[in-house]
């Protein structure tokens, strides 16, 4: 199965602020959350079973291209990151918020809206 992906809207980037937890710096990883074009119900059904190997190969490079053009500072920070899929990326309590986590520490969260066709 071959799909072509394209980024639907602008990519939303948030930079979380440094903070401490119990007096220690709270270590953050840079994160990429993936939002394929789907309904809330589809999201509930699909979020534990994502084609993340394919997304990593197909969509992450598009995100990096987008950053290179639109957010060069973030691109510089992230261009050499290795991205691993984590079901608990955005929520340590439950698998509600999967996403890609970088191997380097940082506070950048990227939300990508995309479609496949």
Cβ 18 to Zn ion shortest distance, Å: 23
* Count of residues engaged in binding Zn ion, rule: CB under 5 A: 4
Report d(CA 48, CA 68) in Å as an integer: 30
Q: Assess 1 for contact with Zn ion (CB under 5 A).
A: no
Q: Which of 91, 103, 104, 105 binds Zn ion (CB under 5 A)?
A: 91
Single out the residue of 29, 15, 13, 25 nearest to residue 103, CA to CA: 29
Other Cβ atoms less than 10 A from the Cβ of 99: the count is: 23
Among the residue ranges 19-27, 66-74, 91-99, 103-111, the one whose residues contact Zn ion (CB under 5 A): 91-99
Q: Which of 20, 23, 94, 117 binds Zn ion (CB under 5 A)?
A: 94
Q: Assess 44 for contact with Zn ion (CB under 5 A).
A: no
Other Cβ atoms less than 10 A from the Cβ of 71: the count is: 16
């Amino acid at each position: 199965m071959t799909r072509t992906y394209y980024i639907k809207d602008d990519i939303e980037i948030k930079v979380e602020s440094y903070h401490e937890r119990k007096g220690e710096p709270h270590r953050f990883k840079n994160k990429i959350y993936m939002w394929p074009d789907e309904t809330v119900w589809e999201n509930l059904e699909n979020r534990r079973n994502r084609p993340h190997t394919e997304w990593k190969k197909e969509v992450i490079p598009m995100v990096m291209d987008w950053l290179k053009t639109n957010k060069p500072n973030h691109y510089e920070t992230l261009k050499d990151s290795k991205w691993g899929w984590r079901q608990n990326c955005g929520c340590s309590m439950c698998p509600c918020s999967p996403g890609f986590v970088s191997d380097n520490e940082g506070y950048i969260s990227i939300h990508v809206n995309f479609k496949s066709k």
